[in-house]
Structure 1
Amino acid sequence: MSTCETQGVKVTARPSYLVEQSTPDQERWVWSYQITIVNESDDTVQLVDRHWVVTNAGGEVEEVRGEGVIGQQPVLSPGQEFKYESFCPLSTDFGFMRGSYGMMRSDGTRFEATIAPFVLLLPALLN
Structure 2
Amino acid sequence: MDVLDIKVRVKTRHLPDHLPSDSKQFAFAYHITIENNSEHTVQLLSRYWKITDANGKTSEVEGDGVVGKQPIMKAGENFDYTSGAVIDTPVGNMEGYYVMELESGERFRVPVKVFRLAIPSILH
Name the counterpart of 2:66: 69
| Rounded Cα–Cα distance in structure 1 between residues aligned with 2:8 and 2:23 | 33
Q: Does residue 49 of structure 2 align to residue 52 of structure 1?
A: yes
> When the two structures are superposed, what TM-score results if normalisation uses the length of structure 1?
0.91
SS in 2 for 1:100: strand
Q: Does residue 32 of structure 2 align to residue 35 of structure 1?
A: yes
SS in 2 for 1:115: strand
SS in 1 for 2:122: helix
Name the counterpart of 1:8: 5
CA drift at 1:7:
2.1
CA drift at 1:26:
2.6
Q: How many residues of Structure 1 are paired with residues of Structure 2 in the alignment?
A: 122
Name the counterpart of 1:91: 88
Query: Unmatched 5+ residue regions in structure 1?
Result: 1-5
- Paired amino acid for 2:40: D
Check 1:96–1:86 CA distance in 2 against 1; reply closer, same or farther (3 A cut): same
Report if aligned partners of 1:36, 1:82 keep a CA contact under 8 Å in 2.
yes
CA drift at 1:92:
1.0
CA drift at 1:23:
4.8
CA RMSD of aligned residues (A): 1.3
Q: Greater share of helix residues, 1 or 2?
A: 1
Check 1:121–1:61 CA distance in 2 against 1; reply closer, same or farther (3 A cut): same
| Rounded Cα–Cα distance in structure 1 between residues aligned with 2:20 and 2:119 | 13
> When the two structures are superposed, what TM-score results if normalisation uses the length of structure 2?
0.93
Q: Say which of 111, 121, 124 aligns to 1:124.
A: 121
| Rounded Cα–Cα distance in structure 2 between residues aligned with 1:87 and 1:40 | 26
Q: Does residue 110 of structure 2 align to residue 113 of structure 1?
A: yes
| Rounded Cα–Cα distance in structure 1 between residues aligned with 2:8 and 2:92 | 20
Report if aligned partners of 1:23, 1:29 keep a CA contact under 8 Å in 2.
no
| Rounded Cα–Cα distance in structure 2 between residues aligned with 1:57 and 1:24 | 21
| Rounded Cα–Cα distance in structure 1 between residues aligned with 2:49 and 2:21 | 24
